[in-house]
Structure 1
Amino acid sequence: MPRPLVVGNGKLLINFDDRLHMRDLYYPYVGQLNHVGGHFSKLGIWVQGRFSWLDEDGWKRQLGYDRESLVTDVHAHHEHLAVSLQMADGVHQRDPIYLKKVCVRNHANEAREIRLFFNHDFSLNETEVGDTAVYDPILSTVYHYKRNVYMMANGKTPEGGIDQFSVGIKRFNYAEGTWRDAEDGLLAGNPIAQGSVDSTISFRLLLQPHEEKTMYYWLCVGDSYDAVRTLNQYVLDNDPDRLLGRVAVYWRRWVNKEERDFADLPPEVVHLYKTSLLLVRTQIDQNGAILAANDSDILQFNRDHYSYMWPRDGALIASAMAKAGYTGTVAPFFTFCAQALNEDGYLQHKYNPDGSVGSSWHPYVVDGEVQLPIQEDETALVLYALWEQYKSGKQIEDCQALYATLVRPAARFLLEYVHPTLELPKPSYDLWEERRGIFTFTSATVYAGLMAAARFAQLFGDDRRHKRYEDGAKSIRAAMEKHLYDPGIGRFLRGIYLRPDGGVEKDFTVESSLYALFALEVFPVDDPRVQRTMEAVKKSLRVDTEVGGFARYQGDYYFKKSHDIARVPGNPWIICTLWVADWEIAKAKSLEELQEPKNRLLWVVRHSLQSGVLSEQLDPYSGAPVSVAPLTWSHATFVATVLRYLEKVNELR
């Protein structure tokens, strides 16, 4: 299930599903230690003897965000209960405080008492073993704790603070949890429980006919009781409504800090551009990790997740954000990579947000032969992105500091990890992490990485390394022309594989990532070989259904929805469709020729969720999101394509 609403600040990230359950809560790293873990913390309402959770079918829900901010704008209406709720959720821009505002309207012709119930199904440090939930009579709060994680819940209405509470056992010995206790409108008041526990608190409102009143709820997260007690007092002292208003203002200022002429782009494209900037920001940890996605429902498919920093994804995302004017936001990413760099100069498959090495399926040994279990494009693209960062922000001091710790060791590895006779990068895993060989995409990134290193060497007056890096890049490009271009078919190959007898096997599969040939400036956009390659991508990877879009490659099996490969070569991916738009933008020679890529931007808008969230891929028949949502890479690629479009408009004008 996608996560259509996400709020966060770089240290606290909270995700909601389309039925308004809190499904993920990450702290103290974005993407590491999910203290909800996909369970259902939810909101319920009691009205004059009738009870309903907001996930039930009687509710009509509208999910979105307040204008240009990371504060939600959610509406829920229940006709039979004659009640409606307007909700705003946000995370404080600096502190780990989740704030919620609920405006409750009584649509009945009589005065009524309405009670709101907040259930907390936490599994602190990703396990329910050893948790404690307790009512604090001094502060009139309920908090959960284990070791160095504390979560304190509180709130207020015009009638007062927490009206009822109960803590108890969940999912153990037939105990379902205190959420069941809430369904008669009364909570038992049990003050403490340990082990697999949950808690529920309620708030009371007295409303006249057709009257509306507002209540506030907040959750303070910290590493000690003193920390959450201090945060709770901070909310009480500063007023939760004023704090939530300041959160909205902050993000509105943040997303509009760059003055930009959006030319002829429709308002809905501009809106998704800004939404994408905000959503990308929620997926960036304050210590530098840029997370691929944090939708924990992916766990049910393979018992692993997307909450990792893939250097490739992170580099392309950082590049897009830098071009959009957010160099400061992504600057810590490059420090993270410098610290993670292997002593031999390469980055590994993926990393946890705390900098430790993430899980991997790339082996060190295949058929008795030792190999390096890496995707070389991940190392190369970080250098490319760092140069893009420098071009955008001109932060020469930061780049000078990274020259010795990141640029030089990584460039040395790229120069050395070259096949002695082919003069191409040695075999590594492709960007989709599925096959090992020598790929056009990987080779293009190595060229771009070495050119970036050469430019840094020139910037810092390191003439000897400048020549070495530039010569290495040109050698890779020449080898690509010799071995990765096939004159018989008139286009570039996906890649080649080394046979045991020393020969080479060609991979003729049409692959969307071949866009790197022009996007990374390996070859000019008007090179006939590039043109024929990209025309093959447009022809062979188009999804011939009403949904449309473009697949990753011919015969893509990941979350496969169709066996009709002729019409559906694979599920349509957001990033792959945008790569086609990038090609159309790059080759356009008139403003009229930009209509097609503009239509692709509108295609992305149409296939976003109501809140603006973009998934990884789509069902080719229904258009429903497939795999994780939001996918950070999808949003960053939309940002990058919009910027390329605007650059082209200015160029053609």
Structure 2
Amino acid sequence: MPSVSTSPAVRLTALDPAVARLVRSSHSLIAGLQTPEGAYPASPAFPAYEGYCWFRDGAFIADAMSAYGDDGSATAFFDWCAQAIVARRDHIHWIVDETRVGRPPSGERMLPARFTYAGEDGADEWWDFQLDGYGTWLWALGQHLGRFEIDASPWLPAVELTVDYLLASWSRPCYDWWEEHSEAVHVSTLACIAAGLQAVADAGLVDPPRAEAIVAAVRDIRNLIETRGVRDGHLVKWLDVAAVDGSLASAIAPLGLVDATSDLAGRTVDIIERHLTVGGGVHRYLGDTFFGGGQWPLLSCFLGLAHAARGDRDRGAELLAWAVATANAQSEIPEQVDHHLIAPGMRQEWVDRWGPVATPLLWSHAMIIRLAVELAADDTDDTHDTHEGSAR
């Protein structure tokens, strides 16, 4: 699928040399591990993740590869997504029809959050009913099409199926980014869905009836967030609570659902900094016990993107530097680090259950790339060290 890059120059030479080296090695790692089918492994050697690709993780990885200039890698991932969705066309139609007549299927009958590299459902039990990934793949595709001149027609059937699925299901409780709390409607999930629907409508990838339905759904999602997803002027973890979550920064950037210049964005960033951040490391949420509740490099990068969108590039650079510093001797970035555990007594229980923390986590590497590109981009100067699109 030929393409012409329209993305801004990536000024890796403008970055700290250690950061630039890790950005390059992160790109190489992700590109080297991407499967022939186009899937991005979550982590190549972590038993609980091995053999699977998540739509959510993968979409953010594809967005980072696209922003870096590797259009071939991102395009291959979107092809993989589209094939997985179209293969479930009849099931999606059934879900939509059942929902329309007031019989929404149980969570076990909804689309899964992750697939095997071959695009098949997983054989083992998982916390599978998650809607965020279906929004993020649409959003990332829209971002990709904005950077490169690519024929979108091969993806249209999958886009339409995904839009129909989300329009029918967006208000349902489901598992969050962390595969927890299936009883709640999560603000980060709503942000992913609204951003994805808006992206494909803005890109002209849907017919007029679907575009009209998207306008109504996005309006309803925004209203729901404003009325039940905000407390004391900041976004909350899920509807009708006061708790916060590190993933909320994504609603500001890169998803762009919340205006970065708004008071809502400012107060959300501020409370994530005050409640969840120590130095440059960001926790998922207070009370987290997974591997002791460590700090996640990818969340530091999401917070860095939110700061950069608000004009504080210095704080964005600090958060990027912290994330880069979590690399091991092999330049691998983990899922989380144990520098400042919330529940240290729980760490060994998870190690005994699943082994050491997932390392490398491709999503962590991707978010470092994405934040670095954001901080290094310069629309006015195309003479810098720029990564060209791959021949994949």
CA contact (8 A) 2:324 2:368 kept: no
CA contact (8 A) 1:350 1:359 kept: no
1:441 aligned partner, one-letter code? S
Structure 2 unmatched ranges of 5 or more: 1-7, 94-109, 342-354, 382-392
CA distance in 2, matches of 1:389, 1:266: 27
Confirm whether residue 355 of structure 1 aligns to residue 119 of structure 2: yes
1:455 aligned partner, one-letter code? D
Confirm whether residue 400 of structure 1 aligns to residue 153 of structure 2: yes
Judging changes above 3 Å, is the alpha-carbon distance between structure 1 residues 523 and 260 closer, same or farther for their aligned structure 2 residues? closer
Which runs of structure 2 are paired with 1:65-214 in the superposition (5 Å)?
A: none
CA distance in 1, matches of 2:124, 2:195: 26
Which runs of structure 2 are paired with 1:296-375 in the superposition (5 Å)?
A: 298-299=46-47, 304-341=48-85, 342=88, 343-344=91-92, 347-359=111-123, 361-362=125-126, 374-375=129-130
Question: Any idea what SS the aligned residue of 1:618 has?
Answer: coil
CA contact (8 A) 1:292 1:308 kept: yes
CA contact (8 A) 1:347 1:379 kept: no
| Structure 2 residue corresponding to 1:473, chosen from 205, 212, 218 | 218
Aligned to 1:446: 193
Q: CA offsets per residue over residues 289-317 of structure 1, 9 Å max, x none?
A: 1110012xx44xxxx34331111111110
CA distance in 2, matches of 1:648, 1:473: 32
Judging changes above 3 Å, is the alpha-carbon distance between structure 1 residues 575 and 581 closer, same or farther for their aligned structure 2 residues? same
Aligned to 2:294: 571
Deviates more, 1:352-361 or 1:533-542: 352-361
Aligned to 1:509: 243
CA contact (8 A) 2:39 2:53 kept: yes
Question: Any idea what SS the aligned residue of 1:351 has?
Answer: strand
1:555 aligned partner, one-letter code? G
State the 1:606 CA deviation. 2.2
Judging changes above 3 Å, is the alpha-carbon distance between structure 1 residues 475 and 650 closer, same or farther for their aligned structure 2 residues? farther
CA contact (8 A) 1:573 1:617 kept: yes
RMSD: 2.5
CA contact (8 A) 1:573 1:618 kept: yes
2:172 aligned partner, one-letter code? K
CA contact (8 A) 1:585 1:648 kept: no
CA distance in 2, matches of 1:445, 1:335: 20
Question: Any idea what SS the aligned residue of 1:309 has?
Answer: strand
CA contact (8 A) 1:408 1:453 kept: no
TM-score, length basis structure 1: 0.49
State the 1:326 CA deviation. 1.1
Aligned to 1:640: 370
Q: CA offsets per residue over residues 145-170 of structure 1, 9 Å max, x none?
A: xxxxxxxxxxxxxxxxxxxxxxxxxx
| Structure 2 residue corresponding to 1:493, chosen from 216, 236, 241 | 236
Structure 1 or 2: more strand by fraction: 1
TM-score, length basis structure 2: 0.80
CA distance in 2, matches of 1:307, 1:386: 23
Q: CA offsets per residue over residues 501-556 of structure 1, 9 Å max, x none?
A: xxxxx332220010122121112101112211111001101236xxx511111111
Confirm whether residue 558 of structure 1 aligns to residue 277 of structure 2: no
Aligned to 2:18: 268
Judging changes above 3 Å, is the alpha-carbon distance between structure 1 residues 306 and 508 closer, same or farther for their aligned structure 2 residues? farther
CA distance in 2, matches of 1:332, 1:512: 29
Aligned to 2:180: 434
Confirm whether residue 603 of structure 1 aligns to residue 353 of structure 2: no
Judging changes above 3 Å, is the alpha-carbon distance between structure 1 residues 640 and 650 closer, same or farther for their aligned structure 2 residues? farther
CA distance in 2, matches of 1:598, 1:454: 33
Which runs of structure 2 are paired with 1:28-47 in the superposition (5 Å)?
A: none
1:571 aligned partner, one-letter code? G
Structure exhibiting the larger radius of gyration computed from Cα positions:
1
Question: Any idea what SS the aligned residue of 1:620 has?
Answer: coil
CA contact (8 A) 1:263 1:649 kept: no
State the 1:621 CA deviation. 5.4
Higher relative contact order (CA 8 A, sep 6+): 2
Q: CA offsets per residue over residues 315-346 of structure 1, 9 Å max, x none?
A: 11011111111111222222222222233167
CA distance in 1, matches of 2:268, 2:17: 33
State the 1:259 CA deviation. 6.5
CA distance in 1, matches of 2:376, 2:18: 15
Confirm whether residue 523 of structure 1 aligns to residue 258 of structure 2: yes
Aligned to 2:348: none
| Structure 2 residue corresponding to 1:540, chosen from 261, 275, 279 | 275
Q: CA offsets per residue over residues 238-259 of structure 1, 9 Å max, x none?
A: xxxxxxxxxxxxxxxxxxxx96
Question: Alignment identity in percent?
Answer: 26
Judging changes above 3 Å, is the alpha-carbon distance between structure 1 residues 431 and 648 closer, same or farther for their aligned structure 2 residues? farther
| Structure 1 residue corresponding to 2:142, chosen from 376, 379, 387 | 387
| Structure 2 residue corresponding to 1:417, chosen from 155, 166, 169 | 169
Structure 1 or 2: more helix by fraction: 2
1:596 aligned partner, one-letter code? R
CA contact (8 A) 1:491 1:529 kept: yes
1:464 aligned partner, one-letter code? P
Structure 1 unmatched ranges of 5 or more: 1-257, 364-372, 419-424, 497-505, 561-569
Which runs of structure 2 are paired with 1:199-238 in the superposition (5 Å)?
A: none
Judging changes above 3 Å, is the alpha-carbon distance between structure 1 residues 493 and 606 closer, same or farther for their aligned structure 2 residues? closer
